[in-house]
Structure 1
């Protein structure tokens, strides 16, 4: 009797893998905050990808695809997504809210897919886009209405941080479009090799940006960083990137995406809890409303599409 990926249920080991990924990626945002105490955003970007590629690039050969796709993915996902996200966390964005807002990449991916790849926008996605727009409006009202910020909230989030986080989500979406395009033109390739060698691409741009834009007074401060900040960088490079993406890729190989994807709803929940408990971050009423609408939008897309297919 043959094995069918579509019919396979998640085993106990798979559920443990899901839990580990959700925890790693949810705590990821708090760890970024710790690392940014001693590193500038550009320094952190360079260090993260050095840690991510240093062990694996020595053993994994480059994928057999044109280098332009590695360059595009490395620029969008590495320099674009995480470079902008690190700046947002530095200038005014909490780890808790970043974990939620970054998930809007699902909707940016849908919009870019519709425009660039002519992909169809189904009913669950249409509902999700409306809910997400309402949610983002609530986040925006938090900054437009001076009475909505609450005590101490204005010192932890800013309108610039909010906009930059959405830009980071847009960059993540563009990297998803690149990955889909690679699948169309290159066919069978190694996803781990693609991730590792596109990460190599991000190291030099981050180093160059640090040299150009970081003040001389902080350009070499990474040499005096606390050991806890170096542990945070190691977590970002090895745990969140290598372990997290390896487990997630393995789940997608063994099970259909519509069965695995809904578990990613746990990432913003863990991120919110970690930000509030570890960093003492404050969520205002408008932000809670936005969070509820964005999470509902994600649920509409992930669960609604699955129920429609059934």
Structure 2
């Protein structure tokens, strides 16, 4: 999923560390949507994402506590539960659910609209976009409407509804976490969010009556481990480094790189079919995201 970087960088040169962090957010996050597809071979969507984030959150929380970070207080846990339910339960859970019937490349192309939705929701807080940002929002939404008319989403109305819910809940959760529901400082807050979101998704899995296939296929196990280690721990912490030490536009650049990588991997590795019209629609979405980020930078 996507969020907007807004922290002021402390350094600007592209060091070796920052280049590695860029590679992580571009390549690793771009590949996680295909990994979700492979994990679905044995692990149903809500069970897969719930177990992934719960495990990653416990590991990250243990690491932060070992380093001396304070335990989140009751209010911060409450905020983590609400934000985790929205961003992870609704956002990531419904994303995996959409991938049951829709190609991973098309799903992440649709998800690229999240920064635009976040900018639109910030209007409720009096944050008005500039002309370039507004143009980006309109262009991006036009691209999303084009995507919904493509063969992939037309063949799966359920997948389309799931990804709309995912983008909406992720964007609402992102804005609330920035405006009304602050988490615990640093990685401890994100660990608490992953723990709460994981518990919520496992509850959703139980309600849906999901049952993992046993024994799981080796490809599904490998994909699940990849999502935990590389997607939830390494790439996420790389993004936090970029937020602290890179320009905001550069830190957010994954929002328009990930869809291209995901679509290429989906076609090359999973033999997913993407029509020329859907490639064009994804391109329109990315143009909108680029315009919005350039406007925000100004």
Which string of whole-angstrom CA distances, capped at 9 and with x for unpartnered residues, describes residues 34-93 of structure 1?
001111112112221233123223233433553221111110111110111111111x21
Query: Which has the larger displacement, 265-274 or 205-214?
Result: 205-214
Q: Distance in 2 between matches of 1:250 and 1:138?
A: 35
1:243-282 to 2 correspondence within 5 Å?
Answer: 243-282=234-273
Query: Secondary structure, in 3 states, of the residue corresponding to 2:136?
Result: helix
Return the offset for 1:227: 2.5
Aligned residues: 285
Which ranges of structure 2 fall in alignment gaps of 5 or more residues?
Answer: 1-7, 66-70
Per the alignment, residue 33 of structure 1 pairs with 37
Is 1:213 the counterpart of 2:208 in the alignment?
yes
Query: Secondary structure, in 3 states, of the residue corresponding to 1:296?
Result: helix
Q: Distance in 2 between matches of 1:212 and 1:301?
A: 39
Per the alignment, residue 142 of structure 2 pairs with 134
One of 182, 192, 196 as aligned partner of 1:197: 192
Per the alignment, residue 49 of structure 1 pairs with 53
- Cα contact 1:139–1:287 (8 A) shared by 2: yes
1:89-128 to 2 correspondence within 5 Å?
Answer: 89-90=99-100, 92-115=101-124, 117-128=125-136
- Cα contact 1:79–1:206 (8 A) shared by 2: yes
Q: TM-score, normalised by structure 2?
A: 0.87
Q: Distance in 2 between matches of 1:161 and 1:278?
A: 21
Q: Distance in 2 between matches of 1:16 and 1:199?
A: 24
Query: Secondary structure, in 3 states, of the residue corresponding to 2:62?
Result: coil
One of 247, 260, 274 as aligned partner of 1:283: 274
Query: Secondary structure, in 3 states, of the residue corresponding to 1:66?
Result: helix
Per the alignment, residue 146 of structure 1 pairs with none
Return the offset for 1:182: 5.4
- Cα contact 1:114–1:120 (8 A) shared by 2: yes
One of 76, 93, 96 as aligned partner of 1:66: 76
Q: TM-score, normalised by structure 1?
A: 0.84
Q: Distance in 2 between matches of 1:125 and 1:253?
A: 23
One of 214, 231, 244 as aligned partner of 1:240: 231
Query: Which has the larger displacement, 228-237 or 292-301?
Result: 228-237
Which ranges of structure 1 fall in alignment gaps of 5 or more residues?
Answer: 143-148
- Cα contact 1:51–1:234 (8 A) shared by 2: no
Is 1:76 the counterpart of 2:86 in the alignment?
yes
CA RMSD between the two structures: 2.3
Q: Distance in 1 between matches of 2:97 and 2:91?
A: 10
Larger radius of gyration between Structure 1 and Structure 2 = 1
